[in-house]
Amino acid sequence: MENTKNLENTTVVVISWLIALWSAYVFITSLFYKFDKSALEPEHIFSTIGTWMSNTISPTLGSLFGEYGAILIGVAELTTALVLIAPVVLWSHRKKLHCIGGLLASAVMAGAVFFHIFTPLGWNPTWKVVNKAACDATFLAPNSCIDTGLANAALSILLLSLLMVWLNKKA
């Protein structure tokens, strides 16, 4: 009986860490794009959402989100990634930190999934580029960049982080 309980606990810890590492990896590797004002993809994403917000919610809010949304989301993602990997040094708080990190990740990604579904951004954001070479290294369509993985990654993190919260919640 005790061996079964230990195995279940080990399985929960391993699954929780795999989810935390995947989420932190996605958040950390996207930081460059969030904080680089010359990156085409976040400029397209946040200006599209900002325009939508201006037309549906508030021109002021839309303008602010279009200008500073990438930085705001980048800070939220960095904070979430740090909480998710904090148990490396704060092991005795792993369960609580993974639960909090899962809540943060699911909140950030719920927003991302919402914007991909309900705004003109769409599930596969596509934008034109003046210089075809600007996207050849990353994207396939000539003179047009398309990102087919961004929304899928957001959805996977949303679902997996909710699982992480459930696995690490208090009974």
Query: 3-state secondary structure string, the chain?
Result: CHHHHHHHHHHHHHHHHHHHHHHHHHHHHHHHHHHCCCCHHHHHHHHHHHHHHHHHCCHHHHHHHHHHHHHHHHHHHHHHHHHHHHHHCCHHHHHHHHHHHHHHHHHHHHHHHHHHHHCCCCCCCEEECCCCHHHHCCCCCCCEEECCCHHHHHHHHHHHHHHHHHHHCCC
pLDDT band at 160 (very low <50, low <70, confident <90, very high): very high
pLDDT band at 110 (very low <50, low <70, confident <90, very high): very high
Reported pTM: 0.83
Give 3-39 pLDDT, tens digit per residue.
Answer: 566 656 888 999 999 999 999 999 999 888 888 877 7
